[in-house]
């Protein structure tokens, strides 16, 4: 099977099910941003971090492929199963959200309470995590815009929202593990 098909040479691409749309279509923007997020998480997983974090990030990468498949498939009604015609794809399910919440609770239990916003950075590994978090937020924004135009499964929006929270907590945990400084954002008064 060749990787190039030449079918997209005129600026369109096919969704699961065969419908062709422009490559700049909001649906493509949505799952393209999820794909970008998956790549950043892969880079984060490749860093020198605990195996438990690596294993959980691998599960997230699998769920992001599922999310991308769901976004690449037109559904016939809000909340409809991920199918059009004969195509059946896996689904992100409520238990996937619960897994993120449980892992956040576990990570957060070891962290000091947060009293201020935190500036991203402190260590390259922590910075990769923050970049993944911000790409996740963009994926969430794209997905909610898509939902206004063509309703999608609500669980996708919930999953992306929770995933960005997880990535923030993971960044804090990695800062702690790596003994990196968490720099609090304390707004300066305006200069007169």
Q: What does the domain layout of the chain look like in residue ranges?
A: 13-108+121-178
pLDDT in tens, 151-176: 999 999 999 999 999 999 999 999 99
Quick: pLDDT tens for 99-133: 999 999 999 999 999 888 888 999 999 999 999 99
Whether the pLDDT of residue 3 is over 90: the answer is: no
Q: What's the pTM value of the predicted model, to 2 decimals?
A: 0.85
Higher-scoring residue by pLDDT: 12, 30: 30
Per-residue model confidence as pLDDT tens digits over 70-106: 988 876 434 444 444 556 789 999 999 999 999 999 9
pLDDT at 121: 94
Query: In this predicted structure, what is the pLDDT of residue 84?
Result: 46
Confirm if 34 and 68 have CB atoms less than 8 A apart. yes
Q: How far apart are CA 14 and CA 128, in angstroms?
A: 32
pLDDT tens digits, one per residue of 35-62: 999 999 999 999 999 999 999 999 999 9
Write out pLDDT tens, residues 143-152. Answer: 999 999 999 9
* Per-residue pLDDT, 78: 42
H or E segment to which residue 110 belongs: none
Second CATH level (architecture) for the domain 13-108+121-178 = Up-down Bundle (1.20)
Residue 107 is given by DSSP the state H
List b or e across 106-139, with b for residues whose CB sees 16 or more CB atoms inside 10 angstroms: ebeeeeeeeeeebeeebbebbbbbbbbbebbbbb
């Amino acid at each position: 099977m060749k990787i190039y098909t030449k079918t997209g040479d005129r600026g369109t691409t096919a969704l699961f099910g065969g419908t062709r749309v422009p490559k700049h279509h909001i649906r493509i923007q949505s799952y393209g941003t999820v794909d970008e997020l998956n790549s950043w998480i892969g880079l984060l997983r490749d860093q020198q971090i605990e195996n438990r974090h690596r294993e959980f990030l691998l599960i997230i990468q699998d769920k992001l492929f599922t999310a991308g498949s769901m976004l690449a498939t037109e559904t016939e009604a809000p909340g409809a199963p991920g199918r059009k015609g004969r195509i059946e794809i896996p689904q992100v399910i409520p238990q996937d959200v619960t897994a993120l919440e449980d892992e956040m609770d576990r990570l957060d239990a070891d962290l000091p309470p947060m009293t201020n916003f935190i500036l991203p950075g402190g260590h390259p590994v922590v910075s990769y995590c923050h970049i993944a978090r911000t790409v996740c937020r963009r994926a969430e924004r794209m997905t909610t815009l898509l939902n206004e135009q063509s309703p999608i499964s609500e669980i996708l929006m919930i999953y992306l929202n929770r995933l960005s929270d997880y990535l923030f907590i993971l960044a804090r945990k990695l800062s702690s593990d790596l003994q990196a400084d968490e720099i609090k954002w304390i707004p300066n008064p305006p200069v007169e």
